[in-house]
Amino acid sequence: MRFTRVLAATAATVLLATAGCAQEAANEEAGEKAAAGFPEKSKSITFIVPYSAGGPADSQARVAATLLEKELGARVLVLNKPGGNTVVGLTELANAKPDGYTFGMISMPNALAWIWPGQNAPYKKESFTWFSSLSDITDVVAVNADSPYQSMADLVAAAKAKPGQLIASIEGAQSTDNLAITNLEKAAGIDLKTAIYATGAAEKVAALLGKQIDVATLTVATAKPQVDAGKFRILATLSKEPISQYPQVPTVASLGYDVTSETYYTVVVPAGTPDAIRSTLEAAMMKVGASSEYQEKISALGLTPKTRSAAEVTALVPEVEARTTESLQRLGAS
C-alpha cells in the first residue's frame, strides 16, 4: 500500500512537471507568434513619459518616437503622464497589457521609487523589464558669471574660509541635487548652507541669476542656455568623463573629489512582455540610437545620446541603486 502511494505521488509530480513544461512551451510559442506579427501596422504603440510636455525628458521621447515609427512601421504616440514624482505614469505603465504596445521611460535614479524613502509606489523593480536607454545627462557645478569663483579650487577655498555661509540650491531634502551637494561637501571637507527651491530647475536658475545663491548644481540642459548667453559659468561637471558640450571643463572627479551626479533615461516594458517582442523594440531603439539624426537632435537638447542594449541597461540598474542608496545613507535619509 505504501509503495502504491509513493508511486502515485511520483506519477502526480511527473504529470505536474510535464504540464508545467508544456504550458511554458505553449507560452513561449504564443510569444513567438505574437512577435512574428509585431507590431501590427494598424495598431499604435504608446510611449508613456511620466513628465510634463516640454522638458528634456519629453523632448527626447518625441525625437525617439518619430524615428522609431520609421523602424517599426507603426505609429508611436508619446503620452505625458506627470504626477507623484513619476509614480502616476509608471503606475499606468506597470498595469499596462504586456504585449509591446505600451512602453515607457524610467529616469534613474529619480524614478526608482523603491529605493527612495517615503515613496510607496504601487509597483516595484520587478514590475518592469528594461530593453534600452535614450540618453544620459549630467549635472554641473555652476555659478553666476559675476561670481568671484573662477574654479572649483576657488569655491572650495572660500567655503573652507567661510563654513556654512556660501549658499547652494537644492530642490528638496531627498532630491538628487541635495545628494550631489552632500557628497561634494564630504569629499571636499566643506560646509555649505542650502536653500530649497522646491518648484524645480527654473526657480534655481532665477535664484542664481539674481545672486540669491552662490552655487547651484544644474543639468547641462538647464545650464547651457545661460552659459551660452554669458550669464553662468561652469566650474566643473559631475560626470565620469568630460562632456561633449563643454569638453574643456574638468570633472569634479578629475579634481580629486569622488563625486558624480548623472541621470540615465531608460526605456522599459511591463513585466511579462514576451522576450521576442522586447527584442524587437531593443533592436529598433539600438538602430535609432546609432543614426546621425538621433545623435544630433539629442545632443542639441543638452543631453548625451546613449542607447544601451537590454543586457547593458539591465546591469546598470543595480549599480545606480547601490550608488544612490549609499548617498541616501550618507544623508541619513534611509
pLDDT (average), residues 24-29 = 54
Q: Return the SS3 of 317.
A: helix
Residue type at 279? S
The DSSP H or E segment spanning 269 is strand 262-270
The DSSP H or E segment spanning 266 is strand 262-270
pLDDT of residue 85: 82
Peptide bond connecting 117 to the previous residue in cis, omega within 30 degrees of 0 = no
* Helices marked H in the chain: 2-36, 56-72, 87-94, 152-161, 176-188, 201-209, 220-228, 275-289, 292-300, 310-331
pLDDT of residue 3: 47
Lowest mean pLDDT segment, chosen from 13-22, 105-114, 221-230, 302-311? 13-22
Q: Return d(Cα 52, Cα 201) in angstroms, integer.
A: 14
* DSSP per-residue string spanning 171-206: S-TTSHHHHHHHHHHHHHT---EEEE-TT-HHHHHH
Give tens-digit pLDDT for 278-331: 999 999 999 999 999 999 999 988 899 999 999 999 999 999 999 899 888 877
Helix axes 275-289, 292-300, angle to 10 degrees: 80
Other CB atoms within a 10 A radius of the CB of residue 322 amount to: 11
pLDDT above 60: residue 8: no
pLDDT (average), residues 84-94 = 94
Lowest mean pLDDT segment, chosen from 21-25, 82-86, 308-312? 21-25
Looking at residue 212, the DSSP 8-state letter turns out to be S
Q: Say which residue, 8 or 276, is predicted with more confidence.
A: 276
The C-alpha cell of 36 is what?
512574428
pLDDT (average), residues 15-44 = 66
Residue 192's φ and ψ, nearest 5 degrees, are -110, 150
Q: Return d(Cα 102, Cα 44) in angstroms, integer.
A: 9
pLDDT of residue 326: 87
pLDDT above 60: residue 110: yes
The C-alpha cell of 154 is what?
576657488
Other CB atoms within a 10 A radius of the CB of residue 272 amount to: 12
Q: What percent of the chain is predicted at pLDDT more than 70?
A: 89
Q: Return d(Cα 170, Cα 204) in angstroms, integer.
A: 8
Give tens-digit pLDDT for 167-212: 999 988 778 888 899 999 999 999 999 999 887 788 999 999 999 9
Q: What percent of the chain is predicted at pLDDT more than 90?
A: 72
Looking at residue 210, the DSSP 8-state letter turns out to be T
pLDDT (average), residues 68-87 = 94
Q: Return d(Cα 193, Cα 168) in angstroms, integer.
A: 6
pLDDT of residue 25: 52
R_g over Cα of the chain? 24
Q: Return d(Cα 153, Cα 157) in angstroms, integer.
A: 6
Q: Return d(Cα 279, Cα 284) in angstroms, integer.
A: 9
Q: Return d(Cα 29, Cα 27) in angstroms, integer.
A: 5
The C-alpha cell of 168 is what?
547652494
- Per the listing, cell 569663483 goes with 149
In Å, what is the CA distance from 71 to each residue of 38, 65, 283? 12, 10, 9
- Per the listing, cell 530649497 goes with 196
In this structure, are residues 101 and 44 in contact, taking their beta carbons and an 8 Å threshold?
A: yes
Q: Where do the domains of the chain lie, and which CATH numbers do they carry? A: 45-137+263-331 (3.40.190.150), 138-255 (3.40.190.10)
- Sign for the CA dihedral angle at 317, 322, 326, 331 comes to positive
pLDDT of residue 120: 86
Q: Of the ranges 44-48, 174-178, 218-222, 330-334, which is most confident?
A: 44-48
* pLDDT band for position 18 (cuts 50, 70, 90): low
Distance of CA 9 to the CA centre of its chain: 50
